[in-house]
Structure 1
């Protein structure tokens, strides 16, 4: 079986970014379903109007990240379909095929990343963001006293 290869081809970390952005923008610094949906609809939703809502993206994120599937019982679609990048020179994106949603992986990843950058420009100077970012996972190239000194790590 090649589960690890299949899993790596789908943008699981990109699906988590709306959660992170929503949390970093909130007073309590926590990810919540409604924050994910609101963030997606505000920043990415226009690109997927009539195809992918924040709620459906949230359900896809939940099913993929937690169960390794593209099928969620609360989704508007029976599943999400990705055509493999090397399978064709055609682009298949934002298509509804019977009861399934087809999304181009590269376009989807680039859309999310582009909108994360837009969002960051908007919030980076706010007090809420600064407070939450202080606790955000970071790389410490020289360690972090009193835990580890002289060795790079992430915490």
Structure 2
């Protein structure tokens, strides 16, 4: 799991933004499954995991960017991208290649590529579209995933489900293939 997270970071750094976004959107599914009794992903698990581990990261980053003496005046700040809206976007993007979901609260969700403007638009609503900074969104997911991993990876439930997780095996995966790296 940490390798996957590291590869999302690498893809961001290399400009592979489709890969970064697709992988980041899959993290709540994977984490929700790894934390569940049956080891399977569902929309409900995705939404709950996103709400607990990703959505709060936005407020933390914003508060950290505000001078300490002014932080007391900033309250009740949350990302407008709810777990449900993120799940719907994930479904439309990963399954249809679309940035529009018929049941989304937004007509379209737009991710702005890093370095294309000096302005940062992160969770800004423009008419009926939600504009999100792609780099910041992926980093919020990464941050949430790392926090979750720190608390989950030593649990018995995680360990049981992680046995089935597709991992990189440098020397192969016996008895199937040996001597070459595989993912499986």
Q: Note the residue ranges of structure 1 that are not aligned, 5 or more in a row.
A: none
Which one of the candidate residues 103, 109, 127 is aligned to 1:98? Answer: 127
Match of 1:38, SS? helix
Match of 1:102, SS? strand
The residue that corresponds to 1:33 in the other structure is 43
The residue that corresponds to 2:82 in the other structure is 53
Count of aligned residue pairs for this structure pair: 151
C-alpha change, 1:9 and 1:97, in structure 2 (3 Å) is: farther
Shift of 1:87: 2.6
The residue that corresponds to 2:167 in the other structure is 138
Paired with 1:109 and 1:70, the residues of 2 have a C-alpha distance of 16
Contact 2:46/2:83 (<8 A) preserved: yes
The residue that corresponds to 1:82 in the other structure is 111
- Using the size of structure 2 for normalisation, the TM-score is 0.77
Paired with 2:175 and 2:19, the residues of 1 have a C-alpha distance of 38
Whichever structure has more helix as a proportion of its residues is 2
Aligned CA RMSD, in angstroms, stands at 1.8
Shift of 1:6: 9.2
Structure 1 stretches of at least 4 aligned residues deviating more than 4 Å after TM superposition: none
Shift of 1:8: 2.5
Matching of residue 14 in structure 1 with residue 33 in structure 2: no
Q: Note the residue ranges of structure 2 that are not aligned, 5 or more in a row.
A: 1-14, 60-77
Alignment of structure 1 residues 117-128 onto 2, 5 Å: 117-128=146-157
The CA deviation string for residues 57-113 of structure 1, in whole angstroms up to 9 with x for no partner, is 000000110111110001110011123333311101111111111100010010000
